[in-house]
Structure 1
């Protein structure tokens, strides 16, 4: 009996330990050929050209957003996806109508400004008080800025991995609430960007519960510098900030989904995608038309293969990422019960620069398979960097509930020159760099979908890395 009990115990332990995930030599050969085809394919570029030309800017909840949803459905079908459908996503609707700012008095001049997403409208005239950083504004005594305009003049640092954006984003999201606590009537910031053009960078902001929102805007970098020089002259500088914008009920958009069905495990999926919405200032080419195009292009190339991978390739064009990850959250909530059927997920949402690094959340038993994928990616100039990176924004909410993720990290050295500005247009995309992205996503998705074994998706609360 003891021997039988021991055997049962050992068997249970072995069953609880997943076997090693592997990828066959045949799959590696097929992925190598796929990689080379992708480098010479222009599907990705044609897709982003179509989106930015035929739809243009597509702010969540707008008429153009609805046209983008129709465009995505038609494009999936045109590219030969086997199944195309939508899933509704509802959210508060924010609108921008007009915006302006002007220095008043002896040095009267216009300033290039844009409202931050989520800002209320209003016209404010007040003395500007400059702060070098967020901490300085947060330390301002309550009431010390009564009737004044708080101005944070922080210069974002350029970096390949975009790490300078972290502070810029915090200043955009936390600055208005800090200004309100100090009594300010309005808030302005130097744009979270790395360019020196008179193009202000928009982006969503937030107001802490219990605070009455105030008009909040971003200045183009040269205008922020001009305002700082005026303040440095030592005399009070008054500015008139006029914003016509605000929340206007709710809207419903859609996650648009296309699938290339797998040959033997069609109910298991590898998810790749980008977000379909954009801000309204440019045409949303690098943010995130490129991501949608990369995923669609990769999916089409895999679907066209003589022998498809075992699992299904699912491409998601996520709704309303810009104003709060609404599409990503909705997808994760709808599909959380099927997390084990999701082999792994990845999102492209960092422009169209070349992919330079690859990593995954793969557990120990799948790390050899991740290394096999990395080896096929290496000729594209992509380094294997385990332990670095994190899931894309829209993949993040699902990853927090157990979805395995991959990071294909792009060179973002100049991404924040154009991010959220009127300069986010098609001409900023290098077709060859975009093709390298499509090749990388095609290789990754195909090999993950054809692996023997999984990459660790399972139900449970986790804290994925945040880039």
Structure 2
């Protein structure tokens, strides 16, 4: 009996575009904090790169933002046991004096516990908010546990806290704090807000259980600045029929400043750009494929909002890559009922790569959601394996060595399959958003 045929190994990458982009952004530019001089250099680099790759109508579309400029970030436990802490300020944190502050730490095991604290009970004290985020393939813990960062500082301020420190919203066990933006409720004066690494949060939890007073010294001197320059970089690969609305593929060019933004989101820009080019390698697609390298995603999705305002012309469909560079394992779509055959063809094509159809509904991502909502666009979500994504997310460890070239290539190949289908579809209907 003959041995069963082995699966054919995928062909070697047809190009190095994706690797060149992620390597170039992280090496030649580095961190790209929104509103900074580095983000401006990244826009110039991106514009030149897209033009060199053959994109047409390449332009930088400027806008201004409310930005955050990092200062000095330091923290230490002063009693009962002196201990330095690995800390980072959250975006839009309030500032301490240059000499810092010191106060009693009040431990809350969850955000709900903080919300239950009596009004005024934290006057002159520093709140610490814990949580229990765990790794998941789909990254689903980020939504609920991320509220500790997004909402927790406002609640602490409303309770009268002098400052707030949270356990980093991440799943690693390294002494790397995770930054990220917080938002302040209407009428709430920002207080200093920082995140400590997971091992340091574990230490704080153990000290709290001893029942002795815990005090902490905290210095966070960053500042929020209005009117900083940012912008999007946009480029087209023209289709055979310019009268048809384009397919939009997005990513974000900015990053946090602790690492070099390799997984978040230089890899996304690499994936969408390389796939767009490869989809046209065998011949010009019917529809134009437009690439959006959005600015200022991390500080509030400003690039996506600016794109939607600047581009009221019809689009057909939107996709985004902003979840690292691990392998695509799931696809989810949102098409009009009449376009079910189109959705089925995408699922079938990706099925040959071992990518499964998800049960959820595609939503896009921060950089494309505004235009999706405004124009009721069809959407395809390519779900990457997020098991280790939140080990690195918003940390000093977000660097080029974390990108696996084979996984990056699998992303490009999967995206190419989808773009070859949707960019050659003669009709794509608008879609009512889910209720």
Q: TM-score range by the shorter chain?
A: over 0.9
Equivalent position of 2:155 in the other structure:
178
User: RMSD of the TM alignment (CA)?
Assistant: 1.7
- 1:286-320 Cα offsets, whole Å, 9 max, x none, are 00000000011112223433x21111010110010
- 1:164-216 Cα offsets, whole Å, 9 max, x none, are 11122111011011111211100011000000000000000011111111000
Equivalent position of 1:13 in the other structure:
none
Q: CA deviation at 1:36?
A: 6.3
**Residues 1:151 and 2:151 aligned together:** no
Equivalent position of 2:4 in the other structure:
none
Q: CA deviation at 1:79?
A: 1.1
Count the aligned residue pairs: 423
**Residues 1:224 and 2:181 aligned together:** no
Which stretches in structure 1 are left out of the alignment for 5+ residues? 1-34
Q: TM-score, normalised by structure 1?
A: 0.87
Q: Distance in 2 between matches of 1:386 and 1:259?
A: 32
CA distance change for structure 1 residues 167 and 124 in 2, over 3 Å: closer, same or farther?
Answer: farther
Is the 2:250–2:319 contact (alpha carbons within 8 Å) kept by the matching residues of 1?
yes
Q: Distance in 2 between matches of 1:226 and 1:345?
A: 44
Is the 1:343–1:449 contact (alpha carbons within 8 Å) kept by the matching residues of 2?
no
5 Å matches for 1:66-77?
Answer: 66-77=40-51
Q: Distance in 2 between matches of 1:156 and 1:42?
A: 36
**Residues 1:320 and 2:306 aligned together:** no
Describe the SS at the equivalent of 1:353. coil
Equivalent position of 1:18 in the other structure:
none
**Residues 1:453 and 2:427 aligned together:** yes
Q: Distance in 1 between matches of 2:336 and 2:244?
A: 22
Q: Distance in 2 between matches of 1:269 and 1:356?
A: 26
5 Å matches for 1:227-246?
Answer: 227-246=204-223
Is the 1:40–1:435 contact (alpha carbons within 8 Å) kept by the matching residues of 2?
no
Q: CA deviation at 1:387?
A: 3.4
Q: Distance in 2 between matches of 1:375 and 1:463?
A: 24
Equivalent position of 1:376 in the other structure:
349
Q: Distance in 1 between matches of 2:243 and 2:352?
A: 30
Q: Distance in 1 between matches of 2:45 and 2:244?
A: 26
Which stretches in structure 2 are left out of the alignment for 5+ residues? 1-8
CA distance change for structure 1 residues 141 and 38 in 2, over 3 Å: closer, same or farther?
Answer: farther
Q: TM-score, normalised by structure 2?
A: 0.94
Larger deviation, residues 444-453 vs 188-197: 444-453
Equivalent position of 2:88 in the other structure:
114
Q: CA deviation at 1:410?
A: 0.6
Equivalent position of 2:113 in the other structure:
136
Is the 2:80–2:215 contact (alpha carbons within 8 Å) kept by the matching residues of 1?
no
Q: Distance in 2 between matches of 1:228 and 1:129?
A: 10
Is the 1:272–1:445 contact (alpha carbons within 8 Å) kept by the matching residues of 2?
no
Q: Distance in 2 between matches of 1:121 and 1:58?
A: 22
Is the 2:258–2:396 contact (alpha carbons within 8 Å) kept by the matching residues of 1?
yes
Is the 2:336–2:378 contact (alpha carbons within 8 Å) kept by the matching residues of 1?
no
